């Protein structure tokens, strides 16, 4: 079946001498993997290797057989040319980290219009702003909403956050209940939106601790979660 769809690149892996295996999140079919034969040697054609940098937003004409095998891209073009996302060193680190997290967390081969729209808007916003320090924290918290495990903030004034239950509570009921400055900083991200994100002021150490908290939260709620290899690079950029 030939489909026309928007797509966001999650990863591109070299396969053999001149091929790429590309993982994309598509608007019409969710996660899809494509085999691009000869693309690393070909200088002609409608599909170019440069299109498949992480988080690039594309318009594809693709053939989907939907048999669990690698699919085929017939045509591709960039639908939103990023200006800074692949050239600014800090944003490049964020792109590596977030694309790895997305590939780790999203596996469904079905359309999710709200999730796709969220990703599309978030990365266009990141491309356009200079205020990037808190973006990955905010992004992962909002992503958890689309993945179905957004924390219950109905008792957000309580001192403890239970990372297994995903709620705030007055008393510690297990070793997975945390309190202190890390949790107070976490609470700040429930009261801002992407436009007011810059108003959350954190030290570098506090931001690192908060990222560790969110990744621990993901580890309990994402089946088969794997610690991102790019985390070390991100920590260096923000240290």
Q: What integer pLDDT is reported at residue 68 of this predicted model?
A: 83
Q: What integer pLDDT is reported at residue 139 of this predicted model?
A: 98
The DSSP-derived string for 192-227 is: --TTTGGG----HHHHHHHHHHHHHHHHHHSTT---
Q: What integer pLDDT is reported at residue 66 of this predicted model?
A: 87
- CA dist 55 and 95 (Å) reads 7
Q: What integer pLDDT is reported at residue 239 of this predicted model?
A: 63
- CA dist 106 and 140 (Å) reads 13
**Token digits for 5?**
């769809």
Q: φ, ψ for residue 123 (rounded to 5)?
A: -80, -30
Q: What integer pLDDT is reported at residue 233 of this predicted model?
A: 86
Q: What is the pTM of this model?
A: 0.94
Instruction: Report CA dihedral (46, 50, 55, 61) to the nearest 10 degrees.
Output: 10
Q: What integer pLDDT is reported at residue 235 of this predicted model?
A: 85
- CA dist 26 and 68 (Å) reads 15
- CA dist 40 and 28 (Å) reads 27
Q: What integer pLDDT is reported at residue 234 of this predicted model?
A: 87
Q: What integer pLDDT is reported at residue 44 of this predicted model?
A: 73
Q: Where are the alpha helices (DSSP H) in the chain?
A: 89-105, 113-128, 135-147, 181-188, 204-221, 231-237
The residues facing 57 across adjacent strands are 8, 80
Q: What integer pLDDT is reported at residue 59 of this predicted model?
A: 97
- CA dist 176 and 161 (Å) reads 8
Q: What integer pLDDT is reported at residue 187 of this predicted model?
A: 98
Q: Give 19's Cβ-side CA count (13 Å radius).
A: 10
- CA dist 45 and 94 (Å) reads 31
Q: Which segments of the chain have a pLDDT < 70? A: 239
**Cβ partners under 8 Å of residue 44, min gap 6:** none
All domains of the chain in start order, with CATH: 2-80 (2.40.50.140), 89-237 (1.20.1440.120)
Other residues' Cβ atoms within 10 Å of the Cβ of residue 132: 17
């Amino acid at each position: 079946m030939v489909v026309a769809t928007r797509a966001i690149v999650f990863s591109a892996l070299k396969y053999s001498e001149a091929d790429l295996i590309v993982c994309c999140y598509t608007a019409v079919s969710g996660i899809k993997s494509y085999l691009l034969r000869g693309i690393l040697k070909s200088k002609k054609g409608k599909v170019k290797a440069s299109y498949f940098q992480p988080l690039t937003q594309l318009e594809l004409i693709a053939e989907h057989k939907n048999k669990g095998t690698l699919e085929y891209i017939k045509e591709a073009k960039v639908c939103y040319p990023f200006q800074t996302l692949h050239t600014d060193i800090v944003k490049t680190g964020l792109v590596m980290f977030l694309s790895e997290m997305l590939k780790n967390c999203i596996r469904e081969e079905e359309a999710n219009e709200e999730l796709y729209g969220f990703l599309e808007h978030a990365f266009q916003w990141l491309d356009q702003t200079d205020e990037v320090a808190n973006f990955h924290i905010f992004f992962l918290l909002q992503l958890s909403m689309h993945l179905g495990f957004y924390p219950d903030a109905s008792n957000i004034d309580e001192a403890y956050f239970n990372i297994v239950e995903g709620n705030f509570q007055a008393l510690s009921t297990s070793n997975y209940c945390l309190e202190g400055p890390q949790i107070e900083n976490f609470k700040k991200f429930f009261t801002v939106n992407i436009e007011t994100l810059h108003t959350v002021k954190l030290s570098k150490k506090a931001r690192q601790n908060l990222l560790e908290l969110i990744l621990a939260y993901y580890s309990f709620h994402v089946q088969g979660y794997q610690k991102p290899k790019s985390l070390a690079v991100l920590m260096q950029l923000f240290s």
